[in-house]
Amino acid sequence: MTSGVRPLKNTVIIAVGSELLTPYKVDTNSLFLTKRLNALGLVVRRKMVVGDNREELASAVREAASHADLVVTTGGLGATDDDVTRDAVASVFGLVLEEDPEVVSYIRSRFQARGFEMPEINRRQALIPEGAAILRNSRGTAPGLWIERDDVAVVLLPGPPRELRPLFDQVAEERIKGRTDGEQIFRRTLVIAGRTETHVEELTQPVYSEWMKQVPIVQTTILASLGQIELHLSTRHASEQSAVARLDGATEELANVLGRNLVSRDGESLESVVGGLLRTHGFRVAIAESCTGGLVTSRLTDVPGASEYIDAGWTVYSNEAKVRLLGVDAGTIEQHGAVSEAVAEAMAVQARERSNVDYGIGVTGIAGPGGGSKEKPVGTVCLGLVGPDKDVRVRTVRFPGERERVKFQASQAALDMLRRALLR
């Protein structure tokens, strides 16, 4: 901590933009900012979203300043009447706005580089509150601003992520780092598949509740998302080495109770973990999908380097396609129905044989909303897996929710089935 300069710890983030108060858009810049602020040791106390309104924003900044050492605003630095952030913040601290000739030249040069004259309206972006430090924006015309008054620092950043991110990193390096209390927040994310939130809580709560009694405290949050559970651990510490050792130990304790339900210890996605296992073993996979419609294959190919272990995938939606294109026996479909473990098995076996790889996956089910019956309601999905030993595994699961949720959960179950087989 630099001596003589007030330390920074508590942060409030304010996202500015009327579109963020509609039913269509959430602020996500704050996720990036929180990650970066936490890594620097700062805590986010509150987030706010306000529209493009000078008075509303001014009162939000005033309230934020009373709770925080650092206020970060995003958005509202454009050139139109709707862009009120400069004005609002200046009014809170009673600062006069003055046009900065260097900023005007910079904006003009950006336009000229593209062969345009600078529209007069863009001069607004060069209006700088007195005493503010200017953060040069290499990706846009609006500079960021740093204002420090009345025991609070306020940083104004543009809304577009590609402009905001480098500007925040710049201001973090130049003005935030070295002004914390020396402690940083360290995090770890454990991904768990194949178990419900309640089950994960029952397994892990006896472990993590002990950590609240120890120093440094490790805080644990359980977040359930579609088809997986995440455990987020965090600890505040001045020493990176000690914090990492503490989190390593905590993770190990959880890994012991979670066993093979633990997908990853560092937030790595299921598809990426499966890809890594395939690569490690030098195995390749082929996938035949009905109800998931290509989603399993698409998720596996989201991982860079997937061409090493994916050969081919079939989406065989109709019975005819299952028979004619993939070679599933028509009699098997006739006898057991298209949604059956027998057909899932046949799809897996055909996918593997036709593409001459190590593993074959077959997924067939009823994604809904139509097509359900009393015996096989919407959400029923049959999964088949066949590996190098030609052992076949099949499962039938019933997933809740609407079509897209059923598809996603089925793809998650298929990938997790392959993961568990690769761990054996």
Q: Which of residues 314-333 bind a copy of itself (CB under 8 A)?
A: 314-318, 320-321, 325
> Cis link prior to 369 (omega < 30° from 0)?
yes
**Of these, 92, 306, 346, 413, which contacts a copy of itself (CB under 8 A)?**
306
Site track for a copy of itself across 203-242, x = CB under 8 A: ------------------x-x------x-x-x--------
Site for a copy of itself, residues 386 to 405, rule: CB under 8 A: 403-404
Site for a copy of itself, residues 109 to 148, rule: CB under 8 A: none
Nearest approach in angstroms of CB 315 to a copy of itself is 3
Measured from the CB atom, is 239 or 298 closer to a copy of itself? 298
- How buried is residue 96: exposed, middle or buried, by Cβ count under 10 Å (0-12/13-18/19+)? exposed
Site track for a copy of itself across 14-33, x = CB under 8 A: ----xxxxxxxxxxx-xxx-
Q: How far apart are CA 176 and CA 72, in angstroms?
A: 12
Report whether 314 contacts 348 (CB < 8 A).
Answer: no
Site for a copy of itself, residues 148 to 207, rule: CB under 8 A: 187, 189
Q: How far apart are CA 42 and CA 16, in angstroms?
A: 21
Task: Name residue, tokens 């190990």.
Answer: 252
Measured from the CB atom, is 27 or 69 closer to a copy of itself? 27
219 - beta bridge partners?
Answer: 234
Site for a copy of itself, residues 329 to 388, rule: CB under 8 A: 354-355, 367-370
Q: How far apart are CA 187 and CA 204, in angstroms?
A: 17
Report whether 1 contacts 40 (CB < 8 A).
Answer: no
Q: Quick check: 59 binds a copy of itself (CB under 8 A)?
A: yes
Phi, psi of 16 (to 5 degrees): -110, 125
Q: Quick check: 8 binds a copy of itself (CB under 8 A)?
A: no
**Of these, 60, 192, 274, 346, which contacts a copy of itself (CB under 8 A)?**
60
87's tokens: 């004005």
Q: How many residues does the chain have?
A: 424
Q: Quick check: 9 binds a copy of itself (CB under 8 A)?
A: no
Measured from the CB atom, is 271 or 345 closer to a copy of itself? 271
